[in-house]
Structure 1
């Protein structure tokens, strides 16, 4: 079942059968930020954490629903030239995804939603889709009784940082890393 997210876009709940498509979106997310890296290890992340307890939503252009028309054919052709095949099916190519898991607040011990991935294809950015997805997940989290939402964002991902700051997200902790040499 799907519903309108924004004019021209619908959101639908993903299924566990779409594991490979989720993996492709995750790999594309990281490849956008780190183009020279190999992200085949993300398959293990999806295998370990993707379940009926970690909901997934897809965003599609509204015109993609229903019978096959000229607009749909154009959309399929543009996706077929993408570096990674991003199709749920021949008639419903997603243009964005949102995958949410659960976390435990380490200060108070409460379960809360944690955003694993929010990704919008580059050609669909700056149209309000990311903001609408964040509002959607906030409403979903409130309905299930969550009192907060967590996420992790790379410091170099300025567009995402700007979005989250505009929506009232605040830094609660910093994840710090020190790279170690394997040589002795």
Structure 2
């Protein structure tokens, strides 16, 4: 999770994200890893190159439970190879099997590659999360 945020905001400290994981990771919020096997080495060591973390949310309009994408991450050297798309297809299969009618997610507006992927997969903007930094005394 920290690598995801550091890719977009490289000068920030994201050590606080471990609290998010502790709070939300459970048997009902599965986390899947994609490992890369180096076939060039004798040991054939594997290393994670991507992950998908799904969970639950409640639709603010209908009140229905639906699948929510907490995290989709692909390490930079494995991007643009279809890994993210394959994980999103897996997420949709998982959600349909649970009986979910939709998948929700939050994406940074500056994350153009992710926005492009989600738009290509048919995701639509339902709401905007807006913030205003407050100065002392404002």
Distance in 2 (alpha carbons) for counterparts of 1:172 and 1:156: 17
- Counterparts of 1:120 and 1:150, CA distance in 2: 19
Alpha-carbon offset, residue 92 of structure 1: 3.4
SS for the counterpart of 1:93 is strand
Q: Where do residues 81-100 of structure 1 align in structure 2 (5 Å cutoff)?
A: 91-100=45-54
RMSD over aligned Cα, in angstroms?
A: 1.7
* Equivalent-residue separation in structure 2 for 1:126 and 1:57 (angstroms): 19
Matched residues in 2 for 1:164 and 1:72: separation?
Answer: 37
Q: Show structure 2 runs of 5+ residues with no match.
A: none
Number of residue-to-residue matches in the alignment: 138
Matches within 5 A, 1:1-184: 26-61=1-36, 63=37, 70=41, 91-183=45-137
Tell me, what secondary structure is at the counterpart of 1:94? strand
Distance 1:71 1:115 in 2: 36
| Structure 1: gaps of 5 or more residues | 1-25, 74-90
Whichever structure has more helix as a proportion of its residues is 1
CA distance in 2, matches of 1:161, 1:60: 24
Cα offset, 1:182, TM superposition? 2.7
